[in-house]
Each structure stands twice: as C-alpha cells, then as structure tokens.
Amino acid sequence: MTVDEVLEVVRASAAKVLDVDASVLTLDGTLSDLGANSVDRADIVTQSMLELDVKVPVRALKGVSNVRSLVGVLHSHLT
C-alpha cells in the first residue's frame, strides 16, 4: 500500500468521524484544520488503524503532529 493510499484511509476516517468533506486534507495539513478536537483526533487514529488492520504501539504515535507524520507512522507499521 502506498503513502497516498494510507492518506486516503485517513481522509475517509476523518470524514466518517467528523461528518465533513475530508478531501481537502493534505499531508501538510492537520486534523484540527477540519475542526477535530483531541477526542476526535484519537477517534480518527483508532478508526484509521481499524480500516488498515494495523496495530500501532501507542508510543509510536508520540510526536505525531500533522497528517504527514500520522500517515508515515501508519504506513511504516503495515505488514
């Protein structure tokens, strides 16, 4: 799976959680740009992991600050 495909999954998860059009979300953007609060962000990350069927250790998410770093961490844990 490519980074772009992982980004698509994150977009779809954000759209599901926030009920918004998430197609505007880019690698340089943040989930907060879409209006996500801290609980929403946790929800979007959990949802993305579920869709990708990947288990990311929580400590690996430390330092995730934007969509690029989130997608990077998710992508690096795909088998």
Partner 1 sequence: MTAAPVGIEALNVYPGVARISVEEIFAGRGLDPGRLTNLMMTEKSVGLPCEDPVTNAVNAGYPLVSALSPADRGCIELLVTSTESGVDFSKSVASYVHEYLGLSRRCRMVEVKQACYGATAALQLAAGYLASGAFSGGKVLIIATDVSLVDHESGYTEPAMGFGAAAVLLSTCPRVLTLDLGAVGMYSYETMDSARPAPTFDVAEADRSLFTYLDCLENSFRGYADRVDGADFGQTFDYLAFHTPFAGLVRAAHRKMMRDHAKGAAVEADFERRVGPALRYPSRIGNLCSGSVYSSLASLIDHADVDGGARVGLYSYGSGCASEFFSGVVDADSRQALRGMRISERLDHRVPLRFEEYTEVLGTSLSCLVPERDRTVDSEPYLPLYARAGGRQDLLLWTGTKDYHRTYEWITPTGGTDDS
- For position 77 contacting partner 1 by CB under 8 A, the verdict is no
* Of the residues 2, 28, 53, 62, which one makes contact with partner 1 according to CB under 8 A: 62
Indicate the angle between helix axes 3-18 and 67-76, nearest 10 degrees.
Answer: 120
From residue 29, give the alpha-carbon distance in Å to each of 38, 53, 74: 16, 24, 16
Pick 15 or 27: Cβ nearer partner 1: 15
End-to-end CA gap in the chain: 9
Pick 4 or 35: Cβ nearer partner 1: 35
| Burial (Cβ within 10 Å: 0-12, 13-18, ≥19) of residue 7 | buried
- x/- letters, 6..45, toward partner 1 (CB under 8 A): ----------xx-------------------xxxxxxx-x
Contact set with partner 1 (CB under 8 A): 16-17, 37-43, 45-47, 49-50, 57-59, 61-62
